[in-house]
Amino acid sequence: MNLFDVYPLYDVTPVKANGITITDNNGMEYLDFYGGHGVISIGHSHPYYLRKIKEQLDSIGFYSNAVQNPLQIELAMKLGALSGFDDYSLFLCNSGAEANENALKLASFNTNKKRVIAFNNSFHGRTSLAVSVTDNLKINAPINSTGPKTFLPLNNIGLVEKELKKDDVCAVIIEGIQGVGGLDEGNTSFFKDLETVCDRYNVIFIVDEVQSGYGRSGKFFAYQYHGVKPDIISIAKGMGNGFPIGGILISQKFDPKHGMLGTTFGGNHLACAAAIAVLDVIDDEKLLENVNEMSAYFIKKAKMISQVKNIKGRGLMLGLEFDFEVAALRKKLIYEKHIFTGGANNKKLLRILPPLNIQKEHIDQFFNALNDILN
């Protein structure tokens, strides 16, 4: 059987990974400045994380959501405490798209309405509802175009309010910081106004923190820079450090009903063990402090490179914008300098999403390599 060929692949075969380093099948070491699409939060193969997963596997790896699972409660309590949202409830699933799918469903259940407001250049995932509010026609199949939605520019509250007044909108969904789109974000007054108009017109305010959450922005959630409280927050990527897990944080506005949401795999024992280990490490190793320190160091060095025209993003969710398309640069970084980086819809943007425990020496290595290539 062949693999269904949907991914353009780099010719690198990782067989081992540790911290910031990935080793390929020829023994070549690579610096990971991309974390496999922003997934690696606490570093590859963190020893505490490995131990916790192995111990869990030796006890019980899986049972469905038909029985008591105290690990889910432990995860919810630790997540509530670390994120500052201990008055929210947690629903667990398996990926970012699934988190948004459930967030949008909950919004529609709650309001009994259908239309969604999303933003230009958004990315919310590939499942049916999530992709329908993703601003990319190429990844929307005809079957996805049935649900009513409206894409608007960021930072224009007048346009949002005009749509909400029509009284058919169930949710506004916005990324804390746009990832795939290229590191654009709503400004503080826009986030605050979104919260106000959603409240005024009884529309559910969803913030997608799948990529920008879990400390990546330098705060636990990126929207926390703006002092708002969304009704639902979706999470995934950094949550499991590579173990597939996602979820939504749900405000007290919603009444749960048995059977309203559900999943076979979501919140299983092994996934919870991985996610608890991630939170323990973020807390014990004070990774948010490291994110802010390393971010400042990275930005200082980036400003010294004349070819970098703009630095976007926050924390360790950063983009370097050049006045040329970066595909060739990324190839050189990977094949000549052995450094993984990311691209974006904005073809001139080099996307930087390293593990949150990166150190200055790795950033020095990155900039030495970038300077070598550029000069």
Ligand X SMILES: Cc1ncc(COP(=O)(O)O)c(C=O)c1O
| Residue whose CB is less far from ligand X, 96 or 313 | 96
Q: Could you tell me which residues are beta bridge partners of residue 312? A: 319
SS3 313: strand
The first and second tokens of residue 244, run together, are: 């597939």
Question: C-beta of 72: minimal distance to ligand X in Å?
Answer: 19
Q: What are phi and psi of 205, to 5 degrees?
A: -100, 105
Question: C-beta of 162: minimal distance to ligand X in Å?
Answer: 25
What are the Cα distances from residue 308, in Å, to 148, 183, 205, 319? 39, 15, 35, 10
Q: Could you tell me which residues are beta bridge partners of residue 340? A: 32
CA gap 37, 362 in Å, rounded: 18
Rounded (10°) angle between helices 47-59 and 269-284 = 150
User: Which single residue brings its beta carbon nearest to ligand X?
Assistant: 96
| Residue whose CB is less far from ligand X, 75 or 103 | 103
For the stretch 313-323, what's the b/e string if a residue is b when 16 or more beta carbons lie within 10 angstroms of its beta carbon? Answer: bbbbbbbbbbe
Question: C-beta of 167: minimal distance to ligand X in Å?
Answer: 28
Question: C-beta of 242: minimal distance to ligand X in Å?
Answer: 12
| Residue whose CB is less far from ligand X, 179 or 319 | 179
Characterize the bridge pairing of strands 89-93 and 246-250.
antiparallel
- Report which of 312, 293, 292 is spatially closest to residue 303, judged by C-alpha positions: 312
Question: C-beta of 69: minimal distance to ligand X in Å?
Answer: 22
Question: C-beta of 221: minimal distance to ligand X in Å?
Answer: 12
Residues in the chain: 375
| Residue whose CB is less far from ligand X, 100 or 241 | 100
DSSP 2: P
| Residue whose CB is less far from ligand X, 209 or 231 | 209
| Residue whose CB is less far from ligand X, 155 or 345 | 345
Interaction site with ligand X (CB under 6 A): 37, 95-97, 100, 123-125, 175, 179-180, 208, 210-211, 236
